[in-house]
Amino acid sequence: MSLALRDDDSPIYRKTALRGLVIAAVLVAAVLAWPTWSHAKTIRAVMHSDLRALDPILSSAYITRDHGYMVYDTLVAMDANFKIQPQMADWKVSDDKLTYVFTLRDGLKWHDGKPVTAEDCVASLKRWAAVDGMGQKLMDFTASLEPTDAKTITLKLKEPYGLVLESLGKPSSLVPFMMPKRLADTPPEKPITEQIGSGPFKFIQAEFQPGVKAVYEKNKDYVPRSEPPSWTSGGKVVKVDRVEWITMPDAQTAANALQSGDIDLLERPSFDMIPILQADKDLTSGVMNGLGFQTIGRMNFLYPPFDNIKVRHAALMAMNQKDVLDALTGNPQYYKICGAFFGCGTPLATDVGADTLLKSGDVAEAKKLLAESGYDGTPVVILAPTDVISLKPQPIVAAQLLRQAGFQVTVQSMDWQTENSVFASQKPPKEGGWNMFFTNWGIADIMNPIASVPLNGKGRKGGWVGWPEDPQMEALRDAFARATSSEDQKKIAAQIQARAFDQTTYIPLGQYVATSVWRKELTGVLDGPATPVFWNMDKVD
């Protein structure tokens, strides 16, 4: 597939774009004019994406994860110190570390009024574990997972495993959310038919219109924990009656709606609009996810030129994190140069192997390595999304850096949904495939080697797109999974990072945070690894 670059300066494009803005404004006005509950305290938010996929076990999309936290709850959860805390359940561990007993707390009800049972939770865990990487690894070590009685879940291991609680309390995609057994029994490759959880909000199916809005109401039967909220743990106290997620694809329209008071929160304004919004005395801004995101470049290991490790080394040497991050954010206050595969600011962060990236690349060395590799001028096909603000700059900057190092580069522009289907294909670049693409991972999704999808070394069978086959990496990941002390885990994580740089499994291109903006009438906005969350938020009339 070869798509031409869009000409944003053409008269036809300007006319089409203007017409699109007018239509968007009309649609937004119509949505905002719809009545909500009489006298209901309502928060209206424009999220980073339109909500379409509703099953948080079937889809790893962050907007689906955010939907999951509204509707569902978890057995345990991670706090701001990376510690696992009780949420729906407390636990005890046997002296031999082989048996974990979880006891559900009192007062748990599904949104249909039925009590939460251990049988429901076991079914939920098994459905999640069938598709999630950490869940699959946990099941490799599990001898049995059964409901002992209505409130007790017993997990027995074949051998000690150091990531039991971290697996059950992982804060981001795919989150082990609990749901009724009748829904959890749905095969994991099929979407569930209802959105029934035990979480702090109820999803209002009758008002859901994909591409328009999603609506949530306070779950009046929800009993929060008594502890203060911390990341995804603690008391999830709902202080409003209703939350509406309004879809506004046009960034300027969304910013205008925030300034006019038609919406209350804008999760991801474009970086160039942030100074304008920060100057508005009626608005406040902040970073809801302090860990932020890692932006990465991923190569296709199946075809030339990146099937050659020396060519991958040359590409790594050519990369310059500062250039990429400057183009992405436009402001150093929003990013940090970071060579840590597990993210800076996390327990496993290390600079092992990252010297070149931390020094902003070495074009001369990249040229030398490329010449030594035997590179024959095979074009590098880079995929470039046109409609995702946080992914548009990376391929353009990387293409220029690679050209400076001597690579022949072809940039193929397309919308993000099309790109998803292209990079999932294992066809050769000449038949519509690809050589390199760029994406972003929330740090919560990559902060350990088992959770990190792009470190998977299983190749065509079970690996992530790009498909590196690396038995040594898999052996290291398995050793990490078996480690039961934090010291051993840190040591093995450093070895994994060294291996990832040696193989150029992917190229970490730095860490950045996204600033959110909201009206000053909103209080109680929380920080966390999976945000925004709408518990604890209040709206002053």
Q: Is residue 225 part of a domain?
A: yes
6 in a domain, yes or no?
no
The stretch 349-371 carries a mean pLDDT of 92
pLDDT given at position 358: 86
Tens-digit pLDDT profile for residues 159-200: 999 999 999 999 999 999 999 999 999 999 999 999 999 999
CATH, residue 20 = 3.40.190.10
pTM score, whole prediction: 0.89
Residue 62 resides in a domain: no
3-state SS string for 4-65: CCCCCCCHHHHHHHHHHHHHHHHHHHHHHHCCCCCCCCEEEEECCCCCCCCCCCCCCCHHHH
Do residues 508 and 527 share a domain? Answer: no
Report the C-alpha gap between 128 and 141 in whole angstroms: 16
Residues 77, 171 share a domain = yes
Instruction: Report the CATH number at residue 92.
Output: 3.90.76.10
pLDDT in the model for residue 8: 34
Angle, vertex CA 232, rays to CA 226 and CA 234, nearest 5: 10
Class of residue 502 by CB neighbours under 10 A (exposed 0-12, middle 13-18, buried 19+)? middle
Q: Are residues 218 and 297 in the same domain?
A: no
Residues whose CB is less than 8 angstroms from the CB of residue 109 and which lie 6 or more positions away in sequence, other chains included: 115, 116, 198, 221
- Burial (CB < 10 A; 0-12, 13-18, 19+), residue 365, is middle
Please tell me the least confidently modeled range out of 1-15, 89-103, 340-354, 364-378: 1-15
Q: Which domain covers residue 169, as residue numbers?
A: 71-184
Determine the longest span between alpha carbons in the chain, in angstroms: 73
Residues paired with 230 in a beta bridge = 233
Tokens 């100074």 locate to 275
Instruction: For residues 356 and 424, state if they share a domain.
Output: yes
pLDDT digits (tens, 9 = 90+) for 381-437: 999 999 888 899 999 999 999 999 999 999 999 998 899 899 999 999 999 999 999
Do residue 167 and residue 222 come from a single domain?
no
The residue among 162, 184, 206 that closes a domain is 184
Can you give the CATH number for the domain in which 486 is found? 3.10.105.10
**So what's the pLDDT on residue 175?**
97
What is the tally of structural domains in the chain? 3
Q: What is the pLDDT of residues 125-156, one digit of tens each?
A: 999 999 999 999 999 999 999 999 999 999 99
User: Above 50 in pLDDT, residue 290?
Assistant: yes
Q: What is the pLDDT of residue 9?
A: 34
Check pLDDT > 80 for residue 27: no
Distances (CA, A) of 151 to 89, 102, 121, 501: 9, 8, 10, 46
Q: Give residue-wise pLDDT tens across range 312-344.
A: 999 999 999 999 999 999 999 999 999 999 999
Q: What is the pLDDT of residue 122?
A: 98
Q: Per the domain annotation, does 61 fall within a domain?
A: no
Residues 236 and 276 in one domain: yes
Residue 176 shares a structural domain with residue 47:
no
Residue 35 confidence (pLDDT) above 90 = no
383, 507: one domain: yes
